[in-house]
């Protein structure tokens, strides 16, 4: 899909205005709403708004829902409020939940007023949960029957309507409380008069509406089903999480972590206005500048040493680089472990010992290699020994910091993926420079 979108963007940019319309019309016929949304996000703002006018009215809501929040906002802002209300007059609850953060309150109120009672109830129940909880995004297209229903009623329901990702029917009490899950394939071999409760799965897997999105997606992944029921604290069935939704959550989490390493948001628009993008990135650059000054300050402490032994200035980046790489390997491993819920107080100590042991082994190995090379290069056994010792110290500290930093940040409710690498880089730079130059001062300037 990515190659197809890239090819279409290239064709649109190479075409003249009228030809662009033709190319985009072909794209509308060939692409699904999610792909069309990605194509629009890939276009500069003025071109995006022009091509948006070509999107058929009946497809516009689906395309908006599929877009990231910031690119979607640029399109929504181009509408008059009356046009927007008209476009969103027939929204389902799930779509309104997805769009709510980028819509004016008056438009949300109008959309709710145009919904039937069941859709309005779905929206109100979902809106109780914040955007990190699965209860906000449940799918309401599911097969539900009362606990007293029999197989023949289930078969009638299936023939009437079979939503995507449906391999189960859910049974509920009269008050809406979840009772059990019946696999659809079991119905075909059962007697029509058999009560459905007799066919229920033993210990059915359910997802709490308060579950974090990633936890719900992981539960879905391991269930072996295409959908799971989502229930609230009172055991009421709110809806379901489908395999498709779980995949979307996983993809967005990956994008979020990838963007967070650079201090950015996964909803960032590729063609966001220059001033807005500059403001966002300026903060991160400012933080990085502070850490850079700290590293420079640590070098400045040994200005006299550097003036007398130029070789140390040549070799200094090697020490910081080796520590940085070693530390980032550990940091990445720990961040993944935190995301998967694999790390706790019970395994912290053995994990720390293991990573420090790896650091010691790698430190000694590469210290020997680099020490020999540096000694031969500058014809000095002392310089080789100093850089070897500094490499060992920095790699061990980097391994220790790679474990401790993300765990401390996680305890402080700070995303380790967002700031862990900056802090780690500062630690490895400062420790590496101080260790190398400090040892050089002690042993080379005596």
Q: Kindly report the CATH number assigned to the domain that includes residue 412.
A: 1.10.357.20
The dihedrals phi and psi of 192, each to the nearest 5 degrees, come to: -55, -25
Query: Could you tell me the maximum CA-CA distance found in the chain, to the nearest angstrom?
Result: 96
pTM for this predicted structure:
0.66
How confident is the model at residue 399, as a pLDDT? 92
Is the same domain home to 233 and 381? no
Helices (H), 261-380: 274-300, 303-308, 310-339, 345-378
Q: Is residue 138 part of a domain?
A: no
Of 263-277, 306-320, 383-397, the range with the lowest mean pLDDT is 263-277
The angle, 0 to 180 degrees and rounded to 10, between the axes of the packed helices 345-378 and 310-339 is 160
The dihedrals phi and psi of 194, each to the nearest 5 degrees, come to: -65, 130
**pLDDT top residue among 289 and 172:** 172
The percent of residues in the chain predicted with pLDDT above 70, rounded, is 91
How confident is the model at residue 280, as a pLDDT? 61
Q: The CATH number of the domain where 197 resides is what? A: 3.10.580.10
Confidence class for position 389, pLDDT limits 50, 70, 90:
very high
Is the same domain home to 239 and 295? no
For 333-356, the pLDDT digits (tens) are 888 788 767 787 778 888 899 999
Is the same domain home to 302 and 419? yes
Please state the domain count of the chain: 3
Q: What is the mean pLDDT of the chain?
A: 86
For 257-306, the pLDDT digits (tens) are 666 655 555 566 666 666 766 666 666 667 667 877 787 788 778 877 77
Is the same domain home to 306 and 429? yes
Point out the domain boundary residue: 234, 260, 286.
Answer: 260
191 burial level (CB within 10 Å; 0-12, 13-18, 19+): exposed
How confident is the model at residue 264, as a pLDDT? 58
Decide if pLDDT at 364 tops 90.
yes
Decide if pLDDT at 232 tops 90.
yes
Is the same domain home to 308 and 418? yes
Q: Is residue 308 part of a domain?
A: yes
End-to-end CA distance of the chain: 65
For 37-55, the pLDDT digits (tens) are 888 888 888 888 888 999 9
Of 8-12, 33-37, 319-323, the range with the lowest mean pLDDT is 8-12
Decide if pLDDT at 3 tops 70.
no
The dihedrals phi and psi of 145, each to the nearest 5 degrees, come to: -140, 155
**CA 289 – CA 295 distance, rounded (Å):** 10
Decide if pLDDT at 310 tops 90.
no
Average pLDDT over residues 45-71: 88
Q: Is residue 137 part of a domain?
A: no
Two tokens, residue 74: 């640029």
Confidence class for position 209, pLDDT limits 50, 70, 90:
very high
Specify the DSSP class assigned to residue 90.
T
Is the same domain home to 120 and 255? no
How confident is the model at residue 266, as a pLDDT? 59
How confident is the model at residue 272, as a pLDDT? 66
Point out the domain boundary residue: 127, 162, 182.
Answer: 127
The percent of residues in the chain predicted with pLDDT above 90, rounded, is 35
**CA 253 – CA 339 distance, rounded (Å):** 10
Confidence class for position 11, pLDDT limits 50, 70, 90:
confident
Q: Is residue 268 part of a domain?
A: no
Domain that holds residue 228: 144-260
Average pLDDT over residues 60-68: 89
83-90, long-range: CB within 8 Å, 24+ apart, which pairs?
A: 85/110, 85/111, 87/57, 87/60, 87/61, 88/61, 89/114, 90/61, 90/114
Is the same domain home to 350 and 395? yes
């Amino acid at each position: 899909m990515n190659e197809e979108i890239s090819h279409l963007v290239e064709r649109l940019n190479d075409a003249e205005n009228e030809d662009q319309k033709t190319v985009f019309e072909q794209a509308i016929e060939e692409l699904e709403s999610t792909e069309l949304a990605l194509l629009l996000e890939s276009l500069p703002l003025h071109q995006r708004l022009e091509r948006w006018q070509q999107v058929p009215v009946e497809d516009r809501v689906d395309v908006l829902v599929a877009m990231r929040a910031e690119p979607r906002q640029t399109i929504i802002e181009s509408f008059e409020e009356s046009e927007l209300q008209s476009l969103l007059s027939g929204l389902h609850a799930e779509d309104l939940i997805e769009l709510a953060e980028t819509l004016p309150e008056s438009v949300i109120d109008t959309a709710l007023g145009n919904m039937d009672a069941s859709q309005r109830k779905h929206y109100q129940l979902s809106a109780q949960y914040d955007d990190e909880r699965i209860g906000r995004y449940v799918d309401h297209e599911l097969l539900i029957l009362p606990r007293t229903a029999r197989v023949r009623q289930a078969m009638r329901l299936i023939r009437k309507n079979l939503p995507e990702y449906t391999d189960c029917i859910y049974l509920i009490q009269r008050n809406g409380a979840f009772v059990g899950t019946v696999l659809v394939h079991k119905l075909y071999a059962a007697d029509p008069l058999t009560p459905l409760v007799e066919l229920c799965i033993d210990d059915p897997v359910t997802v709490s509406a308060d579950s974090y999105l990633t936890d719900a997606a992981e539960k879905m992944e391991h269930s072996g089903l295409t959908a799971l029921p989502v229930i609230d604290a009172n055991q009421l069935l709110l809806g379901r999480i489908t395999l498709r939704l779980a995949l979307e959550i996983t993809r967005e989490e990956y994008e979020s972590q990838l963007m967070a390493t650079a201090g950015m948001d996964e909803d960032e628009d590729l063609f966001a206005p220059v001033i807005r993008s500059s403001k966002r990135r300026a903060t991160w650059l400012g933080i990085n500048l502070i850490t850079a000054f700290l590293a420079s300050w640590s070098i400045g402490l040994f200005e006299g040493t550097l003036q007398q032994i130029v070789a140390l200035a040549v070799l200094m980046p090697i020490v910081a680089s080796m520590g940085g790489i070693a530390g980032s390997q550990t940091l990445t491993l720990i961040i993944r472990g935190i995301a998967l819920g694999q790390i706790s107080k019970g395994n912290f100590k053995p994990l720390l010992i293991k990573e420090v042991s790896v650091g010691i082994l790698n430190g000694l190995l590469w210290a020997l290699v680099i020490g020999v090379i540096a000694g031969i290069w500058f014809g000095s056994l002392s310089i080789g020994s100093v850089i070897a010792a500094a490499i060992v110290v920095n790699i061990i500290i980097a391994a220790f910091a790679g474990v401790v930093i993300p765990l401390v940040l996680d305890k402080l409710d700070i995303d380790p993926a967002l700031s862990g690498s900056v802090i780690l880089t500062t630690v490895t730079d400062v420790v590496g420079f101080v260790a190398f130059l400090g040892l050089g001062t002690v042993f080379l300037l005596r």
